Amino acid sequence: MKIFLDTSVLLAASISDQGASRVVFQLASPSRWVLLTSPYAVNEVLKNLPKFSAEASASWIHLRRQLVLVDDVVSLDRPVIFAASKDRPILFTALAWSQVLLTLDRKDFGDLLGGQFYGLFVHLPFDFLAGQRAAGRLKSH
């Protein structure tokens, strides 16, 4: 399964080793997930990392190795009503390259969380993991 991680998930995984965002990284290999992100998201991570501890930057360097970088997509050939223009590249890129978008951005993605956008599933990391566990698809880490 190809899973796109937005900036909020990448930052959360870098900042803490205790949350669902980090667990996604830990379970990726045994669960055969391909973790994707884009230059747009990486640039946002790099812009925000200095606000956090040096440990967060060190974690980011380690986590970055697990990510496949895909090209940004900035427009679609379908009608879209999505008010958060700054997050359109995240949504459109995830749609183009993956089956699932994981985000912690409830403000901008709130209307999509737990649902789909043209077949792309949009979840909070915790909810995604709970769904995978309930379906019996999680490998232990």
Each residue's pLDDT tens digit, 120-130 = 999 999 999 99
* pLDDT at residue number 85: 60
Do the domain assignments include residue 140?
Answer: no
Do the domain assignments include residue 114?
Answer: yes
Q: Is the pLDDT of residue 137 over 60?
A: yes
Phi and psi angles of residue 89, each rounded to the nearest 5 degrees, phi first: -60, -35
**Hey, CA dihedral for 112, 96, 89, 127, is it positive or negative?**
positive
* Domain enclosing residue 49, as ranges: 2-134
Tokens, residue 63: 């986590």
| Cα(62)–Cα(66) distance, integer angstroms | 8
pTM for this model (two decimals): 0.90
Q: What is the mean pLDDT of residues 111-137?
A: 93
CATH no. for residue 42? 3.40.50.1010
Span 4-39, pLDDT tens digits? 999 999 999 999 999 999 999 999 999 999 999 999
Span 37-79, pLDDT tens digits? 999 999 999 999 999 999 999 999 999 999 999 998 866 565 5
* pLDDT at residue number 84: 47
Give the total number of structural domains in the chain: 1
Q: What is the mean pLDDT of residues 80-87?
A: 58
Q: Is the pLDDT of residue 111 over 80?
A: yes
* pLDDT at residue number 139: 61
Do the domain assignments include residue 90?
Answer: yes
What beta strand segments (E) does the chain contain? Answer: 2-5, 34-37, 67-69, 100-102, 115-117, 120-123
* pLDDT at residue number 140: 56
